[in-house]
Amino acid sequence: MSKKVAVVLSGSGVYDGSEIHESVFTLLALAEAGAEVQAFAPNCDQMHVVNHLTGEVADGETRNVLVESARIMRGNVLDIAQANVEEFDALIVPGGFGAAKNLSDFAVAGSGLTVNPDFLALAKSFHDAGKPIGLICISPTMTAAICGEGAECTIGTDPETAAAVNATGAKHVDCEVTSFHVDEDKKLVTTPAYMLASNMVEAKTGIDKLVSSVLSLA
């Protein structure tokens, strides 16, 4: 029987939503492994909207996280409030600044971050049920909030971000871009992806390994 995986998105676009390459690589790896996927996203406004051509914030423009996530999923995405942990074997969260702006406020609050309550409730329900979780790129900054103090994770090798992760109560482990880290006790798998990747191949290699590891733990 194929595994069923919930994938949580945070918009569409690296600067204000889900990183599109990471999201597609995750979905592709799951499809190649024969897993069934349902995507979810919070039904709320983004923290802000960024012009991806200039990198500047588009003043006065608002976009909905769920609506924007539908771009990546060709429309097949549900409100995260509808997600039921009992229907799934695992949870995976791609990165992008949306994870640090829409799923949490790490981009603003750093180690004092708070996490979107609907996402946090879902993620903690996976953890409490002993089901594996995969966090990609900047998403591991939410590790302590989801899995508790002392949970091991990686965002790569950036010392400033690693220090912020440690300050949340998680334990950061340095990791190369094409590799991944597993906290066996917490059933948490993390990989740096575009926190370190200089090209798509590097990002995809780490994500492929993360997906394989998550499915093996499910």
What are the catalytic residues?
137
C-alpha R_g of the chain: 15
Which H helix or E strand runs over 23? helix 20-32
Q: Where are the beta strands (DSSP E) in the chain?
A: 4-8, 36-41, 77-79, 90-93, 133-136, 152-153, 171-172, 181-183, 188-191
Task: At 62, list the tokens.
Answer: 């608002």
Q: Is 81 exposed, middle or buried (0-12, 13-18, 19+ CB in 10 A)?
A: middle
What phi and psi, each to the nearest 5 degrees, are found at residue 106? Answer: -55, -35
CA angle 4, 124, 13 (to 5 degrees): 70
**By the 8 A CB rule, do 112 and 75 touch?**
no
Return the residue matching tokens 């690296």.
14
Task: At 109, list the tokens.
Answer: 């609050």
Greatest alpha-carbon pair distance for the chain in Å reads 48
